[in-house]
Amino acid sequence: MPTVAMIGGGQLARMTHQAAIALGQRLRVLAASADEPAALVTPDVVLGSHDDLDDLRRVAAGAVAVTFDHEGVPTDLLHALVAEGVNVLPPPEALIHAQDKSVMRRRLSEMGLPVPDFVDLDGPDAEATLRDFFARHDGRVVLKAIRGGYDGRGVWMPDDLDDAVAVLTRSVADGTPLLAEARVAMRRELSAMVARSPFGQGAVWPVVETVQRNGQCAVVIAPAPDLSDELATQAQTIALRLANELGVVGVMAVELFETQDGHLSINELAMRPHNSGHWSMDGAVTGQFEQHLRAVLDYPLGDTRARAEVTVMANILGADSAPEMSMDERCHHLMARMPDARVHLYAKGERPERKIGHVNIVGAPGDDVAAVRERAERAAHWMSTAVWTDGWDEHGRE
């Protein structure tokens, strides 16, 4: 069987390896250290750095494709690999749209797709450009690092112009180029996940609602409740069109805003398995991790239908201080109380706000969305903190 190599040893690589096992394969990973989530589970680990060409060559040697668990690999190194005959998927020309928010914004506007108004803040006139943009949008602006941000790190919502200028000044001093964009008056956030193979087959999952807390994804409801057929189809069409026109291979998440006046606006793209697709591991006929492998291997893509009327995913985050009760014991109690909870743990240390796992609850026919969501969040909160949000006493003592 073929070997796929993945750059990065985080939870996305770990869960891709899990899908590789079912396909009779094992994933090779490039990990920074032996205790990263994926390095702990696959025997085929190359220890090294994603910004070292020799390390990238070592992990690529003999692999049928090289793909990604994060978007941090420098573009020039990817081009060097391609020039040496490595099958980099998604290709660097596509991946750049998930690495560079400015390139992505420009390309999407050229394609006539809905994006928030934006401007690059670079060069000597950056402050004047920011002041002008700020005034034009009545101060409703968001500042973003063009490269390198994730989980809301690299996104600032300034309170006023002085605050915005301070963010810019700090970023110029750190050498972090920024862009400014209009702050979207939104009803909620959505994600449209799509997969595309080199053959050109495309497959989209149902559009989901994503709930962010502190700039990072906390909960996903699949499919997005009460989304009109028109907006759902529009979001799926955008995802398929982007996958095709950008030449994506693998899975891609298209993060969207549903605006208060009922339109879609595209936030950003991720060309790898994504937090908004974790529900599909238990809630769809084909999960995103297997689909990513199928796509990079140019296998026919799997059925993306939901298995239930509703599936809710809730992230397990590291608590402010790790509870005294061990993770093992928390797991035991969760299973005792919620036999239908699907737990996915990443074997990561518990640090505040860090994503260390997730729980999926696949609803039964007729289940109320709010009730399924409450159970998923209750389970995830328990796993984080060893506290039941409804006051339940796991030892039956009142």
Ligand X SMILES: Nc1ncnc2c1ncn2[C@@H]1O[C@H](COP(=O)(O)OP(=O)(O)O)[C@@H](O)[C@H]1O
Q: What residues are designated binding site for ATP? A: 101, 144, 181-184, 189, 267-268
Build a one-symbol-per-residue string for 239-258: x at contacts with Mg ion by CB under 5 A, - elsewhere.
----------------x---
Site for Mg ion in 252-291 (CB under 5 A): 255
Identify what 198 binds: Mg ion, ligand X, none; CB under 5 to 8 Å per kind. none
Q: What is the DSSP string of 96-149?
A: HHHHBHHHHHHHHHHTT-----EEEE-STTHHHHHHHHHHHTTT-EEEEESBS-
Which C-beta is closer to ligand X: that of 179 or that of 379?
179
* CB neighbours of residue 13 within 10 Å: 33
Identify what 71 binds: Mg ion, ligand X, none; CB under 5 to 8 Å per kind. none
Pairing outcome for strands 4-7 and 28-31: parallel
Identify what 152 binds: Mg ion, ligand X, none; CB under 5 to 8 Å per kind. ligand X
| Token reading at 109 | 């506007």
Identify what 294 binds: Mg ion, ligand X, none; CB under 5 to 8 Å per kind. none
How far is residue 59's CA from residue 174's CA, in Å, rounded to a whole number?
A: 32
> Cβ 164 to ligand X, closest distance in Å?
14
How far is residue 369's CA from residue 313's CA, in Å, rounded to a whole number?
A: 12
> Cβ 3 to ligand X, closest distance in Å?
30
Kindly report the backbone phi and psi dihedral angles of residue 159, in degrees, each rounded to the nearest multiple of 5, phi listed first. Answer: -75, -35
Which C-beta is closer to ligand X: that of 116 or that of 363?
116
> Cβ 372 to Mg ion, closest distance in Å?
24
CB crowding 175-192: b at 16 or more within 10 Å, else e: ebbbbbbbebeeebbbbb
Site for Mg ion in 348-387 (CB under 5 A): none
Which C-beta is closer to ligand X: that of 74 or that of 323?
74
| Token reading at 349 | 């240390």
> Cβ 320 to ligand X, closest distance in Å?
21
Binding site for ligand X (CB under 6 A): 116, 142, 144, 149-152, 154-155, 181, 183-184, 189, 212, 215, 255, 267-268
> Cβ 337 to Mg ion, closest distance in Å?
32
Kindly report the backbone phi and psi dihedral angles of residue 217, in degrees, each rounded to the nearest multiple of 5, phi listed first. Answer: -65, 130
Which C-beta is closer to Mg ion: that of 154 or that of 283?
154
Which C-beta is closer to ligand X: that of 37 or that of 154?
154
Which C-beta is closer to ligand X: that of 86 or that of 235?
235
Using CB under 5 A as the binding criterion, the count of chain residues that bind Mg ion stands at: 1
Which C-beta is closer to ligand X: that of 214 or that of 321?
214
How far is residue 83's CA from residue 81's CA, in Å, rounded to a whole number?
A: 5
Identify what 92 binds: ligand X, Mg ion, none; CB under 5 to 8 Å per kind. none
> Cβ 268 to Mg ion, closest distance in Å?
5
Which C-beta is closer to ligand X: that of 8 or that of 302?
8
Site for Mg ion in 299-358 (CB under 5 A): none
Build a one-symbol-per-residue string for 205-244: x at contacts with Mg ion by CB under 5 A, - elsewhere.
----------------------------------------
DSSP 200: -
> Cβ 111 to ligand X, closest distance in Å?
18
Q: How many helical (H) and strand (E) elements, i.e. helices and strands, does the chain have? A: 12, 17
Identify what 183 binds: ligand X, Mg ion, none; CB under 5 to 8 Å per kind. ligand X
Q: What is the DSSP string of 206-263?
A: PPEEEEEETTEEEEEEESPTT--HHHHHHHHHHHHHHHHHHT--EEEEEEEEEETTS-
> Cβ 246 to ligand X, closest distance in Å?
17
**Cα torsion angle, 355, 359, 362, 364, sign:** negative
Partnered with residue 208 across adjacent β-strands are 191
Please state the residue numbers annotated as binding site.
101, 144, 181-184, 189, 267-268
Partnered with residue 95 across adjacent β-strands are none
Q: How many residues does the chain have?
A: 398
Note whether 287 and 106 are within 8 A (CB): no
Q: Which residues bind Mg ion (CB under 5 A)?
A: 255
